[in-house]
Chain A
Amino acid sequence: MAITEASPAATAPVDAELLASVTQFLALEAKLLDEGREEDWLELLDEELLYVVPIRLATEDRADEIQHGAFRIRDTKYHVRTRIQRLATRHAYSEIPPSRTLRVVGSVLVQRTADADIVEVTSALLVYRQRGIDDHFDLIPCRRNDTLRLTAQGPRLLTREVVLTEVGIATPNLGVFL
């Protein structure tokens, strides 16, 4: 499944029920991850998940900023599951104690696709992160371009492209999910 390309300037109106379902989904994800319930979050990921954090550069043309073939992370569900297993070993030291996080999700745009079961969603995410015994905090700003699969059990995350606002990130690692 290809990662979502840039959305058109105007989005067609979507019905309130769909918008509510999507925003509820994004809020639930954020809450589960803030509460350290990664196993529950894993349940919200489609089996065909592709989760990508591309590398961003300072370039003259905006179109060249996001290096779509170059990435910090390119995870399938297998990779995400393995990361969560590692966090559960009690030896994943960078997350012991777990980062205290607050994920603020906003600017949610939903768009239907030719496939009735698939919607495109973009959202802004600001993660406040205080790690270990740090006396400072990190902010991880990003915009996420997602596709969600609408299932009988609710939306499931099919693809996510996390466009980091920063070129060189100020947090020392991406040991938290975005």
Chain B
Amino acid sequence: MTITTPATSLPADVAATLDRVEQTLDKDRLPVEIFNDEAVFKAEMDQIFGTCWVFLAHESEIPKAGDFVQRRIGVDPVIVTRDGNGGVNVLSNYCRHRGTQVCQTDAGNSRFFKCPYHGWTYSNSGDLVGTPNKHGAYADHLDPKAWGLYRAPRVDSRFGLIFASLAAEGPTLDEYLGGASWMLQMVLGLHSDGMRVAGPPERYKLRSNWKTGAENFAGDAYHVGTLHYSNEEIGIAPDLRSNVEVTRLYDFGNGHSTIGFPFVELAGPFAAFWGYDPQTAAKFDLSGLDETQRHIVENEPPIVGTIFPNLSFLRSPVPVRIGEMEMAVVTTFRQWQPVGPGEMELWNWQFVWTFQDEQQALDAYVAGQFTFGSAGTFEVDDTVAWEGAPKAAKSPWMRRQGMEFNFEQAHTSPVNRDPDPTYKGPGIKRNTGFGEHNQLNFYRHWVKTLRQGAQATSVQEG
């Protein structure tokens, strides 16, 4: 089975747009048109979602043989299956005969996918195993090996997160993640039983561009004190307006980055390990972590981050009840699913530690959905703020005006934004949230990947 490798020559209009993006990024700006443009979107589907390692599911969603979930790689529907040998398969959900979708459900358990149209039947590892009226229709002239469902050529997982790449060749998942894997280890790799999903993803449609969510979670500590200030006013989270200055920024290159937060420095030792209660924190096994990771996890752990292109996470303490000390620590993974140039679906999973008891897991799930979900007290406001960019990108005036978004904190902020010379982990660490550096690097990597596919590597220069 051959996999078509994405086009390496971009259409002239997209190439011209990227030249302009590159020039404006050098001035810490970004042209508006990339947030709602058919040609750019199509190039993203081929060059980014057609080559990069894209997140699909957590292992705990398909634990048993036959389990499957329907997911997306860009706008392409795929079935993620657990076959009888325990292997994970990522299959195109289009029948090879006439393109009918062989799987019409979001999740289930089945050994076979039978096309409802003419009955071509595939095993859950994608092989063509049945065709009705075989002798009359094909005799021996249909090679079942040549007519299985198309498969993502590369599937791999880290810390329970299953990724696939539609490019047959390219960097391995480890090479692709680079420092992001080191970071994920601090979020997901603290116990041998790992984490599990609390439930299937909830989905909601936003009239916004997928990049806006990814950019926000890459490093936008600046919006929290304004857009989410209502949460401070009612006691859900403290000091949102002053936190940006002391937030840590980690840039791992290749479009992957994270925000860390100095809980211990600001709130004292009880806030170590994100504020997990001492019994839970005592269960964390730090023996696999290096010295730098151990320091970070205890004192200034990752709270928000983005894995290029469209996977992000958040881990944050939320009071179980306002005014009381008990905290539920929320872990949400979310995917910014591109639907169209100015439209995305937000897919939101809550994660809990496999070792947590039922009540602890429920507290974390409830608190997670209460703050980050379709009705989340933080997230509802993001969903509205993010709808502006695609509208501006379609505005005739803004197009004529050559509107550029302002990322100039990268040079105007007087706060010391130099890379921390004492930091020994991968990438770069900055000890302030000012600067919009991570967002700029997300878009720099976006340009490189549109030009070169997943082969693109980018390391922040400093």
Contacts and interface: CB of A to CB of B under 8 A. Distances in A.
Interface of A: 53, 55, 57-60, 64, 67, 69-75, 78-79, 82-83, 85-86, 89, 91-95, 131-132, 167-175
Contact of A59 (B107, B199, B369, B385): B107
B105 A57 contact: yes
B374 interface: yes
Interface string B326-358: 000000000000000000010000000000000
A70 B374 CA distance: 13
Contacts of B365: 71, 74
A71 to B, nearest CB: 6
23 contacts: A53-B375, A55-B202, A57-B107, A71-B369, A73-B375, A74-B366, A78-B321, A83-B377, A86-B233, A86-B234, A89-B233, A93-B384, A94-B380, A94-B383, A94-B384, A168-B205, A168-B345, A169-B374, A171-B204, A172-B207, A172-B384, A173-B374, A173-B380
Contact of A82 (B236, B373, B381): B236
B199 A69 contact: yes
Contacts of A75: 370
Contact of B375 (A92, A93, A168, A173): A173
A2 to B, nearest CB: 14
A175 B205 contact: no
B113 to A, nearest CB: 12
Given A55-B202, A71-B369, A172-B204, A86 B383 contact: no
B204 A168 contact: yes
B22 interface: no
Contact of A93 (B204, B236, B374, B381): B381
A70 B205 contact: no
B398 interface: no
A89 B230 CA distance: 6
Interface of B: 104-108, 198-207, 227, 229-231, 233-234, 236, 321-322, 345, 365-366, 369-370, 373-375, 377, 379-381, 383-385, 387
Contacts of B229: 89, 91
Contact of B204 (A64, A95, A132, A173): A173
A91 B372 CA distance: 17
Nearest to A79: B370
Contacts of A173: 204, 374-375, 379-380, 383-384
A64 B108 CA distance: 9
A22 to B, nearest CB: 26
A70 B383 contact: no
Contact of A175 (B105, B231, B375, B387): B375
A168 to B, nearest CB: 4
Contact of B203 (A131, A168, A174): A168
B205 A71 contact: no
Given A60-B105, A71-B369, A174 B374 contact: yes
Nearest to A75: B370
Contact of B369 (A60, A74, A92, A171): A74
B236 A172 contact: no
Given A71-B369, A74-B366, 5 more contacts: A58-B106, A64-B108, A85-B234, A89-B233, A94-B383
A49 to B, nearest CB: 14
Contacts of A131: 384
B199 A169 contact: no
A95 B365 CA distance: 24
B233 A91 contact: yes
A55 B200 contact: yes
Contacts of A172: 204-207, 383-384, 387
A29 to B, nearest CB: 18
Given A72-B202, A85-B234, A59 B108 contact: yes
A132 B374 CA distance: 17
> Which 6 A-B residue pairings sit nearest by Cβ, starting from the closest?
A70-B199, A168-B203, A174-B375, A91-B230, A173-B380, A172-B383
A170 to B, nearest CB: 5
A129 to B, nearest CB: 13
Contacts of B198: 70
A107 to B, nearest CB: 24
Contacts of B227: 93
Nearest to A92: B230
Nearest to B375: A174
A67 B200 contact: yes
B230 A86 contact: yes
B200 A72 contact: no
A49 B199 CA distance: 22
A51 B108 CA distance: 27
Contacts of B236: 82
A59 B105 contact: yes
A173 B201 CA distance: 15
Centre residue among B231, B377, B379, B385 by max chain A CB count within 10 A: B377
B384 A55 contact: no
Contact of B199 (A55, A86, A171): A55
Nearest to A53: B375
Contact of A57 (B106, B233, B377, B380): B106
